[in-house]
A and B are shown apart, each in its own frame.
Chain A
Amino acid sequence: DAKTTQPPSMDCAEGRAANLPCNHSTISGNEYVYWYRQIHSQGPQYIIHGLKNNETNEMASLIITEDRKSSTLILPHATLRDTAVYYCIVRVFGAGGTSYGKLTFGQGTILTVHP
């Protein structure tokens, strides 16, 4: 699976949009971009995923560049409860064999939302 690079930390004011970048310059054509977040002492929470089109759900929006070498997770109106570590993961969706379903976590971005 392709490697991702994220800034170690970011700050955001409550009520403002939080834009979290992720670089995945070695992404392959059949690899998806997944975003998870982990609030302290909890298991990771799925946020969103996409292949090449921009995606939006009730939690966030995912913007993927045309060359797919980078993406941005957007939390449109950040709240204090969005303070967490955000992980960007790239992998082939539904790949068979021994790597099926495996997610490789990097260090992620610590997002701190302040009042």
Chain B
Amino acid sequence: GAVVSQHPSRVICKSGTSVKIECRSLDFQATTMFWYRQFPKKSLMLMATSNEGSKATYEQGVEKDKFLINHASLTLSTLTVTSAHPEDSSFYICSARPGGNQPQHFGDGTRLSIL
């Protein structure tokens, strides 16, 4: 149980393109999901907390207009990287936690490469 699915797993696109990444909780409902970013040989850094039915909470230094988050249902959150540039190339990972005494579970990540 507690499976989190991310799609796509890899994206390669031209500079200026907007890219949408989906995060789904397959066997549980999640009112809160999290988006992380990871650069090569670095640790995960939390970007934002996605809240179902309300605005996301962004960490300091993360541009809200650059990284649009939508959490329209209890099983789906999306991260859209708008007008992506090469410096946005990174590994993006989402996570979600089932209710009750359950730990957080992560998707397999999306590797974004902007040419």
B is a partner of A: yes
Give the chain A neighbours of B4 by CB distance below 8 A: 43
Are B109 and A46 in touch, CB under 8 angstroms? no
A101 at the A/B interface (Cβ < 8 Å)?
yes
**Of A10-18, A19-27, A67-75, A103-111, the one with at least 4 CB within 8 A of chain B:** A103-111
Binding site for B on A (CB under 8 A): 34, 36, 38, 41-46, 49, 87, 93, 98, 100-108
The docked-state distance in angstroms from the alpha carbon of A108 to that of B108 is 18
Give the chain B neighbours of A46 by CB distance below 8 A: 103-106
Are B49 and A105 in touch, CB under 8 angstroms? no
Give the chain A neighbours of B97 by CB distance below 8 A: 101
Are B104 and A42 in touch, CB under 8 angstroms? no
Give the chain A neighbours of B32 by CB distance below 8 A: 100-101
A interface, over-half SS: loop
Shortest Cβ distance from residue A33 to the other chain B in the assembled complex, whole angstroms: 11
Q: Identify which of B32, B43, B97 gathers the most chain A CB atoms within 10 Å of its CB.
A: B43
B44 at the A/B interface (Cβ < 8 Å)?
yes
Are A101 and B105 in touch, CB under 8 angstroms? no
Give the chain B neighbours of A108 by CB distance below 8 A: 43
Q: A42-B109, A43-B106, A46-B105 in contact; A102/B43 too (CB < 8 A)?
A: no
Are B34 and A102 in touch, CB under 8 angstroms? yes
Give the chain B neighbours of A38 by CB distance below 8 A: 44
B93 at the A/B interface (Cβ < 8 Å)?
yes
Are A41 and B44 in touch, CB under 8 angstroms? no
